[in-house]
Structure formats: structure tokens, C-alpha cells
Structure 1
């Protein structure tokens, strides 16, 4: 019979053989984690807490969903909330209808081999993205001013002065004008994403399409555009989140009241006006937190719906 000898290492050697704990990872991550927690997590938790409380006689009391019912049902609050939500949706649709097709068109033109000075055009289109919304709003207010702006003179020079109007001063034009200004500023990012997606399409696919006689515009719609759907989905969800968090452009151009007559009021300006107060309106942190919570829930619902329903269908278009 053969005997099997089992040798065991001493306890000291077993401890040495164990994988060392990498404490340096926690040390390097700790500053970012603490800053993110202090700047993002704690304010979010405090906002959610305020939305379920009310203060009467300097005493805070839990009211459950009473603030949400007031926001959605009370005439004084519901009008402004639904008006701001509708304006936010319209503001987002302007970007989707104008900015995304325009970004795809410019990216398609810049990706053509015959296009000259493509880098110069890409830089020129991307430059407004680097500007602050405060600067953009102030400059465009000067340009569109009926008194000292240059827009009336430019339209008069090309024979279109009859179409000029105080676009930021009329209810039917103000929000559309601000939406187009935002499109002008933000066009560079989706253009670059679409341009990069087009360049990433393998030449073998395009050569195979040319062999089958698919060239020119037909090649774009039958080959390139389906392969761009994942990038279009990313642009759409980023645009949605950005638009529903927007505040600075409306605030700088139209003020905290988002005039004229609340025609440019969005959820961001409504939140600011409710939380901090404005003119003859006193601030109410609890109702402001309720509006912020509704914004958070709307964005969360749309992002989750995109990830679980849309993103899965877009996977089959990926290379």
C-alpha cells in the first residue's frame, strides 16, 4: 500500500500566501466618494425628506404625500406645474426635431471624402458649446433686441425685415426662440458623436453595399442610419436629462418669472422661484423640494424606460 503524505504550511506562511488587502484603493477613492456624497447624495436625501414635511409655527411635521397632492390638484400650484412641464416637453421636442437631424446631416457631410477643411467646420460648430449659457443668453438678448439689436438690420439687409418681431417679448415666440438658441449652443456635442459613429463603421460594410449597388443617399439611409440608432438613443437621453435640468438660459434671458406671462417657465425656473421666492412670492422650501422630487422622478422614469425597453432593441443595430 502506498501512503499519502499531506503537508501543511505553517500558519505564518499561510498568512503570507493570502492576497494582500489593497488599502490604497480605498485611500484614493475616499476623497471623491466624500465629495460626491457631500455635494450630491446628502442634498438629494434632504430634498426627498423636505418633500414629505411641512413647517407650521416653526414646527416641522410629517405630512406624507400632502405636498404632492397640493402641487397636482390645487389650482394655485397645478397651473404653474403643468405649464412648466408642458414647456419643458416642448423645449425637449425642439431639440429632438431640430438638433438631432441637423447633427446627423452635418456629420454625414463632414464624413464625406470630398469635404475640405472638415476640421475647421467641426471646430466652428463645436465652439458655442464651450460658452456659458449666461453669456449666450445675454448676447442673444442684445442681438434680438428691437431697440439696439442687429437682427432687424440684418433682416432689412436681406429684404426680410417684415418677418422681424420681438421674439423674446411675445408669448407665442419666446420659448421657440430660446429653444433654437439652445440648439445653436448644444449642436456641437451630438454632431461630434454622430461623426465619430460614422467613422467607426467598417469599410467592409460600405464596400459590400457598393458592390450591391447601394451608393449615395441610398447607402446613408439603408446602411449608415440604422447603424447610428444607438448613438441617436444616447443623444436623445442625454438631451432629455439636460433639458429637464435646464435653468440658466431661461433665467438669464427671461428672468426668474420666465416671462412673458410664464410662457417660458420650465421646471427649473419654477423650482427656483418656489424654493427661494421671487418678487412678491415668498419661498417655500417644502413645495420647492416637492417640485425637485417630481423632476427627479420624471427623469428617473424616462431613463429607466429607455434602458429597459429602448436600449435592448437598439443592441441589434450595433456592430
Structure 2
């Protein structure tokens, strides 16, 4: 009897139709993704190991990396850009993400009026082009025709105004805060979705125990949304170390003043394509891109294999 049942199950398993249509539907997306992402990445990694010698592409191994880290001029530009990139990332982590969490917590209040309007207004800048955002903020912060001095004068703070985008000490902070203004809607919406995903039974149990208001958020909701906060953090890391558009729009390819806003993205652009009298160097540009890829890969791996395992226990 058991042998008959097992033979019938094996017959049903073998007779199950193969779902070839899944591969058919996935094939176009796979081709596009490979052409746009995978093949350029492989070519970039390959190009970083080659250099042009006597007009010929020659395999040089890790010689380009030795130049990047060992040559005085290349190393100075690279480490400056890397330091600025970390500052750019830290400002987003300390300002953008906590602000996004706070906004999501306030928008999740059930009795809040005009919550839909607030969500739309805060998220709207993320839909704008980097070119538009950069141009608008250059006008707003301009010492000549900007509106910032006028509004600061209304509240008696005009003495604190300065050409923030033109000073090496404040340019990077100013550009970072512009980026925060544009992108704060993304962590807000992700955290807001995580807050809405908390079961009502948990909230009702907390209210029965007398845990309400901000105490409920800190003790109940915040631990439960830690996986979402971790995801927002790693997306912020990847986005910041791939950043280029906004700084190029606001400060140009030279990322002035005096390279104060130069990050890895702008350094890669000038190196690969050249700028003004500087000729482009494809091999060194690919080397910088490879280092950027390795940094991002290390950060993502640290999150996936280290941090994410510790926060999974908070998930339902």
C-alpha cells in the first residue's frame, strides 16, 4: 500500500509541468540588468588592471592601485575625497535618518489632521531633479540675490549669514544639508510603513499596561522597527558613496571651493572623463570606481552578515 502511494506521488511529481514561462518573463529584465549593471561592472574591474603603454592596452596587475595609494598627488586627492565622503555620510546618518524617524512617528499619530498633505509635502522634494534642487538652493543661499539674508534679517539673525557654499569650512555641510532636505522623505516613508506594519494587538496591549505617547514609541515601537532602520541606514550608506549629481550641480566638477566638497563620485568623474585642461584617464578612473565598489561591498556585507542577524529577532 505504501509503495503504491509513493509511486503515485513520484508519478505526480514527474508529471508536474515545467514552468518555462517564468524564464520567459524574467529574460528581458535579466538582459537589461546585465547590459546596464553587470557587464559595465565587470568591464570596470577588468579595466582597473590594465593601462595604456605605447598606445597598447597592457595588463599591469595592481600597479594602478599602487599609483592611487602611493603617488603623492593621487593619494592626496583620493584620501581627501574619501574623508569628505565619510563626512557626507555621517551628516545624513545624524540628521536625515533621525529626522525621518521623528517625522514618521508624528505622521503615524492616528488623530493627526492633514497627515496626507504633510506626507506629500515632505516626500515631494525626492521627486525633483538634482539639477532643479541644486539650482534653486544656489539661488536661495546666494549672498547677492538670495532670499536667505532677508528672512534671517526678519528674525534678527542676519549677522550669522555668510556665503556658506563659498567657504571651505562650511561648503560640505551646506551641500549635505541640501541633500538631507531633498531625501528625508525616503527614510520617513520607509519608517512610516514599518510603523503601520506593527500589529494592533501589540499597541493595544501596551495601552492596557499604561504605556502611551512617546513612551510607547521608545519602549515598544522603536525596537520593533529596528530592521527597517537598519535597511534605511544601509541604503543611506550606498546612496552617499554613490553620490555625484547634487554636488556636481551645486559646486561643479571641481567640487569647490578648493576641493572642500570633493567626494569619490566627483573625483571619479574628473579622472575618467577629464576636465578643462586635464585629460581623462580611463584606467585610473576605473581604479577609483573599483575602490568605491569595494567600500560599498564591505559596508553592505557588514550589514548583511553582522548587523542584520542581530535585529532579526525583533521582526514578527
Q: Give how far 1:200 is off.
A: 1.5
Q: Secondary structure at the match of 2:299?
A: helix
Match of 2:147 among 146, 150, 155: 150
- Quote the Cα distance in structure 1 between the aligned partners of 2:307 and 2:282: 36
Match of 2:221 among 217, 220, 224: 224
Q: Secondary structure at the match of 2:280?
A: coil
**1:238-282 CA deviation, whole Å, 9 max, x = no partner?**
011111111010101101000001000000000000001112221
Counterpart residue number, 1:178: 175
Q: Give how far 1:20 is off.
A: 4.1
- Quote the Cα distance in structure 2 between the aligned partners of 1:101 and 1:24: 45
Q: Give how far 1:152 is off.
A: 1.0
1:298 is the counterpart of 2:295: yes
1:75 is the counterpart of 2:68: no
Q: Could you list the runs of 5+ residues in structure 1 that have no partner in the other structure? A: 1-13
1:256 is the counterpart of 2:267: no
Aligned ranges 1:231-270 → 2 under 5 Å: 231-270=228-267
Counterpart residue number, 2:157: 160
- Quote the Cα distance in structure 2 between the aligned partners of 1:104 and 1:39: 34
- Structure 1 window deviating more from structure 2 (33-42 vs 95-104): it is 33-42
Match of 1:277 among 274, 292, 295: 274
Counterpart residue number, 1:107: 104
Write out the 4+ residue segments of structure 1 that deviate beyond 6 Å after TM superposition. none
- Quote the Cα distance in structure 2 between the aligned partners of 1:52 and 1:59: 14
- Quote the Cα distance in structure 1 between the aligned partners of 2:25 and 2:210: 56
**1:149-205 CA deviation, whole Å, 9 max, x = no partner?**
111111112211111100100011111011111011001111111111112212221
Scaled by the length of structure 2, what TM-score is found? 0.93
Q: Secondary structure at the match of 2:169?
A: helix
- Quote the Cα distance in structure 2 between the aligned partners of 1:238 and 1:201: 22
Q: Secondary structure at the match of 1:146?
A: coil
Counterpart residue number, 1:86: 83
- Structure 1 window deviating more from structure 2 (112-121 vs 31-40): it is 31-40
Q: Which has the larger radius of gyration?
A: 1
**1:130-151 CA deviation, whole Å, 9 max, x = no partner?**
0011110011001111111111
Q: Secondary structure at the match of 1:168?
A: helix
Q: Could you list the runs of 5+ residues in structure 2 that have no partner in the other structure? A: 1-10
Q: Give how far 1:19 is off.
A: 4.2
Structure-2 change in CA distance of 1:25 and 1:211 (3 Å): closer
Scaled by the length of structure 1, what TM-score is found? 0.92
Q: Give how far 1:60 is off.
A: 1.4
Q: Secondary structure at the match of 1:292?
A: helix
RMSD of equivalent CA atoms: 1.5
- Quote the Cα distance in structure 1 between the aligned partners of 2:308 and 2:169: 36
Q: Secondary structure at the match of 1:64?
A: coil
- Quote the Cα distance in structure 1 between the aligned partners of 2:19 and 2:309: 36
Q: Secondary structure at the match of 2:79?
A: helix
- Structure 1 window deviating more from structure 2 (25-34 vs 83-92): it is 25-34
Q: Secondary structure at the match of 1:61?
A: strand
1:44 is the counterpart of 2:41: yes
Report how many residues are paired: 305
Q: Secondary structure at the match of 1:172?
A: coil
